[in-house]
Structure 1
Amino acid sequence: MSKPKQFIKKPIKVTAYQTEKVEYIETLEGTMRADVGDWIVTGINGERYPVKPDIFEKTYQALD
């Protein structure tokens, strides 16, 4: 096994909205529940997935 290296995630533009109701999202891993206040992110290949607000805040930065 080679020695582990450190990496940083490439900055990739995504679109997202914060849901005001419970939603069920079809993701690459199957159907996932998004609770009120969760962010629904659409990735670069059109995939959608819910992200909890605390994780979203640590991971994403607004461009506007």
Structure 2
Amino acid sequence: MMRALLRWLHLLLAIPIIGYVYSPFEVLPSYAGPTRYVFMPAIVLAGLWMWKGHLVRRLFTRSNP
């Protein structure tokens, strides 16, 4: 369930980046801030969580002896 949710989030957040890449040069400054500081880090974090999230969960769910 969590992986499917992250996959959809990852795909939906890619839509503004595709718009940024294929938009006319005149409107790039209005897309640059949100793309650089919101969408790209969110996509990277979602991708890393899908890739190595099981290791992070294992670190936080281990009981201390």
Normalized against structure 1, the TM-score is what?
0.20
More helix by share: 2
